[in-house]
Structure 1
Amino acid sequence: MVRSFNLADFLTLGNGVCGCMSIMFAMRSLITQDPTFLYAAFCFIPIGVFLDAMDGKVARWRNSTSLLGQELDSLADLISFGVAPAMLGFACGLQTILDIIVLSFFVCCGLARLARYNATVASLPKNDSGKILYFEGTPIPSSLFIVIVLAYGVYCGKFWSFQNIPTDQNGFISPFKIAFIGENVWLGELKVISKYHIHPFVFIYAINGMLMISKRLRIPKF
């Protein structure tokens, strides 16, 4: 199968690798409590965006577009711009049950958006070179905006307060019990009902997800 891949397909695979690396580095940052790994996880997403932009250009330049490449591109995009940004949000402290539900909603919106694109791409208007004129809903790489905001928040101390860990009568309190709650997560935390809390920051994911699946919103493709 690998022998049937062209240059554009390898660029697409590179995009998928960036998404996988971002997820793994985000998990490693939680294990080690070292923000260096989290910054590395952030950096893989813009690299994936670059590779995602280049694979389409290379495919048209070499006239090597294929159904395999189209499906490969969607799967790689789901990892890099759907699952990975959601995992980065989790790593930054969006970890309550309600946060996880919203993050899952975001990933599902990205999945639905990519499926709709694959199902309708043949009917969308194109220019003389075969390039699609516009997207229905925001393209899934728009989640890069969320990643940039998260990275800025970590840099400015809006997330990740592992310093000055308090103690109780039994010794040190687990840093994870305080690092991702209340004032230690950007915009704080809201109590919804009983023991269920949500971090308002997570609504950025909900808004981005709804924009992706919008049918009326048309974004020109440059």
Structure 2
Amino acid sequence: MTPTEVAPAAERSTPFAPGEAPRLRLGVADYLTLGNALCGFLAVWALATAQAAHMAGGAAGALPKSAMATAVGLMMVAAALDVLDGRVARKLGGSGMGAELDNLADVISFGFAPAFFFVVWGTIAGGAGVLLGGSVLPVVAGGAVLLAVIVRLARFSCQAPDSNYFTGLPCPFGAMAVVTIVLLDPPVLAGVAAVLLVAWLMVSRMEYPKPRGKKAYVVLGMLATGVAFIAAWGLGLPAGEALIYLMSALVLLTILSLPFYVIATRRSPAPAGQLVEHPVDRHAERPSE
């Protein structure tokens, strides 16, 4: 769901004549991308500040819900901006820096931020009892997430675009999966195993459908709902815990079921008389979707 994938480099930047240098001034879509990166940075800052206060005060147990909710909410806002900037670039045009800015922003918001979130949780939840001494396993799992995001983005930059499917779990979905695991607060070793599975899904060859057209608005609606749920949980509202478990179940169910949906729809025969379009050809004819 990164804009580099939703809108390939050719769409993410303004067309140029042969031999013409790309426009290197920031466009509207680029400012949305920078907002994505800023949200990722602020999520890390909120977590680091909360962890420092937690340790300085000698408090036991997890970080305050308000701090965790702030970080998760910021990552969800980053994901929403990640959807929007590609759509804006296709409608208003983008700069020659658009695709590169997308990748850099995604590494911060969907690689480093969720990895750091997991490490903070794993260090506090596991303490000295974690195998290999305290925080080693959470750091390994967090590092795997960060590296998986980097490899995934680099691999996509080298591939011909497919207008209908992502190869591997999209980075924002991977980040939300890591966040979900933390919010469910499993035993540390189970959490490490689950996060390593998420990292593998991001670099795997499994296919996920792209949120084209109206589906993009469905994704934005889901993100807005998730922000509302996490805010209710962070504020300690009575239904907050139930809403978090509901959101977590929906995220995990979506991530696990979509590859099977793709397999089922690809195997189903096309209706009689209907031509099956090649994904790249269809993409070239309807670049605005």
Q: TM-score, normalised by structure 2?
A: 0.55
Deviation string 1:49-73 (CA, Å, 9 cap, x unpaired) is: 0000000010011132x44111100
Q: Which amino acid aligns with 1:187?
A: P
Deviation string 1:161-192 (CA, Å, 9 cap, x unpaired) is: xxxxxxxxxxxxxxxxxxxxxxxxx325xxxx
> Given that residues 181 and 195 in structure 2 are in contact (C-alpha distance below 8 angstroms), is that contact kept between their aligned partners in structure 1?
no
Specify the alignment match of 1:139 in structure 2. 170
Distance in 2 separating the partners of 1:63 and 1:14: 18
Distance in 2 separating the partners of 1:206 and 1:148: 14
Runs of 4+ in 1 over 6 A off after TM superposition: none
Gaps of 5+ in 1: 126-131, 159-185, 189-198
Distance in 2 separating the partners of 1:63 and 1:24: 32
Alignment counterpart, residue 15 of structure 1, candidates 36, 51, 67: 36
How well do the aligned residues superpose, as a CA RMSD in angstroms? Answer: 1.9
Distance in 2 separating the partners of 1:63 and 1:6: 8
Deviation string 1:105-147 (CA, Å, 9 cap, x unpaired) is: 1110110000011111xx223xxxxxx2211111111121221
Specify the alignment match of 1:209 in structure 2. 199
Distance in 1 separating the partners of 2:99 and 2:171: 15
Distance in 2 separating the partners of 1:146 and 1:56: 24
Deviation string 1:61-119 (CA, Å, 9 cap, x unpaired) is: 1132x441111001111110111001111121245212211211111011000001111
Number of aligned residue pairs: 169
Distance in 2 separating the partners of 1:206 and 1:75: 22
Distance in 2 separating the partners of 1:90 and 1:100: 6
Q: Which has the higher strand share?
A: 1
Q: Which has the higher helix share?
A: 2
Specify the alignment match of 2:48 in structure 1. 27
Specify the alignment match of 2:141 in structure 1. 102
Specify the alignment match of 2:284 in structure 1. none
Specify the alignment match of 2:79 in structure 1. 49
> Given that residues 181 and 191 in structure 2 are in contact (C-alpha distance below 8 angstroms), is that contact kept between their aligned partners in structure 1?
no
Asked if 1:73 corresponds to 2:112, the answer is: no
Q: TM-score, normalised by structure 1?
A: 0.71
Distance in 1 separating the partners of 2:78 and 2:178: 14
Distance in 2 separating the partners of 1:85 and 1:48: 12
Q: Which amino acid aligns with 1:221?
A: K
Q: Percent identity?
A: 30
Distance in 2 separating the partners of 1:200 and 1:145: 14
SS of aligned partner of 2:77: helix
> Given that residues 168 and 204 in structure 2 are in contact (C-alpha distance below 8 angstroms), is that contact kept between their aligned partners in structure 1?
yes
